[in-house]
């Protein structure tokens, strides 16, 4: 019997049936006279997921990497000095892109397991009296290591220094899962993608832009075409796009937002926090440790787990996949062979997490990791039982809203 792979990587994530059904439609005319009645409300509602009331959100037919490039090329100039940090695969790739696009990058190389070095940022910003730094970059949630960084702290460092630099944030694996406050934290550009918290297939690069960043765009001379803000604004204002949009993904995005709002964003964040804590309880019961070094930076969307010396984490992932039909995340680059990752973001609940832990325990034991059978699962079971009431109530309310 062919059984679907149980997907517990940190993206793409599981797609809810309501979202999948919304995309299962005939192709439509993206220039129909009434298409804007669908897209204009979608643009406005999408801003709510970023906690953004001003500015605007652009939706590109790309991955999140495309939105990275759009953010840089539309607001900065070649040679601009920027402050960045690298502490995982995706923060590292963002640094690489900035260099390749001609920016003058000052980047802190941090241990993989740490997050944005807020104190170091603060020192550099305070010393930059001439405001040569034009932008500060921060990866909110680093999926390679399971680390969430303090974006509010970065904003405070900017404010304390009286620094006017733009604040760029990678929110690909945090928006829609972990509390993100674009206006509250003074974020100017936030990059996200469709395949994580928005519970869609890969294919939409989503970029939220503040009024300050839109103003900076006016003096940006970097080359761009496909990702041009001018072209997007001109067409988006009327509910259309400068090229063929991914209409089925947009329909799925509408359904995804409806699900998030029905549950309530704060309840969504609480659910992710609770499920992540259940996974962490399991890891502790297994006697293993996390890649993330400090509890304050533990991610609520992905847990990166260190394997014992002499064990290849890639073998754990392969065993889980081929023997138990379970997809876990591999260790990337600097932590390849040292960690494996359990993704717990998007449309997930306790029962699904329980299945992931069940399969993970079997794969680890097969690979020679001496964990007691049922130890991690048991720890998660007790934690979920003790904390189930509030979570169950919020989900019940969401189902009632969707049914009415």
Name the residue with higher pLDDT: 106 or 396.
106
- What confidence score (pLDDT) does residue 389 get? 73
Q: Contact at 8 Å (CB) between 339 and 291?
A: yes
* In a domain? residue 214: yes
Task: Please calculate the CA angle 195-16-354 and round it to the nearest 5 degrees.
Answer: 95
* In a domain? residue 1: no
Q: For the residues 112-120, what does the mean pLDDT come to?
A: 98
Residue 340 and residue 145: Cα distance in Å, rounded? 9
Domain boundaries, position 186: 17-259
pLDDT at 4 over 80: no
pLDDT at 76 over 80: yes
* In a domain? residue 68: yes
**Does one domain contain both 190 and 114?**
yes
**Does one domain contain both 242 and 291?**
no
**Does one domain contain both 172 and 272?**
no
* In a domain? residue 219: yes
pLDDT at 165 over 80: yes
Q: Which of 205, 225, 259 is the last residue of a domain?
A: 259
Give 185-198 pLDDT, tens digit per residue.
999 999 999 999 99
**Does one domain contain both 273 and 186?**
no
Whole-model pTM? 0.95
Residue 264 and residue 266: Cα distance in Å, rounded? 6
pLDDT at 44 over 90: yes
**Does one domain contain both 58 and 185?**
yes
Q: Contact at 8 Å (CB) between 399 and 391?
A: no
Task: For the chain, give the percent of residues with pLDDT over 70.
Answer: 95
Residue 403 and residue 97: Cα distance in Å, rounded? 45
What is the band of 132 on the pLDDT scale with cuts at 50, 70, 90? very high
**Does one domain contain both 244 and 310?**
no
- What confidence score (pLDDT) does residue 2 get? 57
Q: For the residues 52-59, what does the mean pLDDT come to?
A: 98
**Does one domain contain both 240 and 341?**
no
* In a domain? residue 126: yes
Q: Which of 215, 244, 259 is the last residue of a domain?
A: 259
Task: Please calculate the CA angle 129-131-136 and round it to the nearest 5 degrees.
Answer: 120
Q: Element (H or E) spanning 307, and its range?
A: none
CATH code for position 337: 3.90.1150.10
Task: For the chain, give the percent of residues with pLDDT over 90.
Answer: 95
* In a domain? residue 106: yes
- What confidence score (pLDDT) does residue 266 get? 97
Q: What is the CA radius of gyration of the chain?
A: 21
Of 144, 146, 145, 126, nearest to 136 by C-alpha is 126
* In a domain? residue 372: yes
pLDDT at 404 over 60: no
What is the band of 357 on the pLDDT scale with cuts at 50, 70, 90? very high
Q: How many domains does the chain have?
A: 2
Tokens coding 296: 């304050």
pLDDT at 330 over 80: yes
Q: For the residues 19-38, what does the mean pLDDT come to?
A: 97
CATH code for position 55: 3.40.640.10
What is the average pLDDT value for the chain, to the nearest integer? 96
| Alpha-carbon separation of residue 328 from 69, 73, 285, 361, 376 (angstroms) | 29, 34, 19, 12, 16
Under DSSP, the state recorded for 15 is: P
Q: Which of 229, 259, 289 is the last residue of a domain?
A: 259
- What confidence score (pLDDT) does residue 355 get? 97
What is the band of 397 on the pLDDT scale with cuts at 50, 70, 90? low
**Does one domain contain both 32 and 164?**
yes
Q: Contact at 8 Å (CB) between 51 and 229?
A: no
**Does one domain contain both 254 and 295?**
no
pLDDT at 400 over 60: no
What is the band of 326 on the pLDDT scale with cuts at 50, 70, 90? very high
**Does one domain contain both 397 and 255?**
no
**Does one domain contain both 131 and 254?**
yes
pLDDT at 390 over 70: no
* In a domain? residue 210: yes
**Does one domain contain both 221 and 309?**
no
């Amino acid at each position: 019997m062919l059984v679907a792979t149980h997907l517990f990587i940190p993206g793409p994530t599981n797609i809810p049936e309501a979202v999948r059904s919304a995309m299962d439609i005939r192709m439509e005319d993206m220039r129909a006279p009434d298409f804007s009645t669908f897209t204009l409300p979608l643009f406005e509602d999408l801003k709510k997921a970023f906690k953004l009331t001003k500015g605007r959100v652009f939706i590109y037919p790309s991955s999140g990497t495309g939105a990275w490039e759009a953010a840089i090329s539309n607001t900065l100039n070649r040679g601009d000095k920027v402050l960045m940090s690298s502490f995982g695969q995706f923060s590292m790739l963002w640094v690489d892109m900035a260099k390749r696009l001609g920016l003058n990058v000052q980047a802190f190389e941090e241990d993989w397991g740490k997050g944005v070095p807020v104190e170091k940022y603060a020192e550099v910003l305070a010393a930059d009296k001439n405001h040569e730094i034009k932008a500060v970059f921060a990866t909110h949630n680093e999926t390679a290591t399971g680390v969430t960084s303090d974006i509010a702290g970065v904003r405070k460092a900017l404010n304390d220094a009286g620094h006017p630099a733009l604040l760029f944030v990678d929110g690909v694996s945090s928006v829609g899962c972990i509390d993100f406050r674009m206006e509250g934290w003074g974020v100017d550009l936030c990059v996200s993608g469709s395949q994580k918290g928005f519970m869609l297939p890969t294919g939409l690069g989503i970029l939220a832009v503040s009024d300050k960043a839109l103003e900076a765009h006016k003096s940006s001379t970097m080359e761009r075409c496909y990702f041009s803000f001018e072209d997007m604004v001109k067409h988006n204002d009327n509910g259309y796009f400068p090229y063929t949009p991914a209409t089925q993904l947009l329909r799925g995005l509408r359904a995804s937002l409806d699900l998030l709002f029905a549950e309530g964003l704060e309840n969504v964040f609480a659910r992710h926090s609770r499920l992540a804590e259940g996974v962490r309880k399991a890891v502790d019961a297994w006697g293993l440790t996390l890649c993330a070094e400090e509890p304050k930076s533990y991610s609520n969307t992905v847990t990166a787990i260190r394997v014992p010396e002499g064990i290849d984490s890639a073998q754990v992932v392969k065993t889980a996949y081929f023997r138990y039909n379970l997809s876990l995340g591999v260790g990337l680059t600097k932590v390849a062979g040292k960690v494996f990752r359990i993704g717990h973001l998007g449309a997930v609940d306790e029962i699904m997490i329980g299945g992931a832990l069940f399969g993970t325990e079997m794969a680890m034991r097969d690979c020679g990791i001496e964990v007691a059978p049922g130890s991690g699962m048991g720890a998660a079971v007790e934690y979920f039982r003790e904390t189930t009431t509030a979570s169950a109530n919020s989900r019940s309310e969401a189902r009632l809203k969707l049914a009415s």
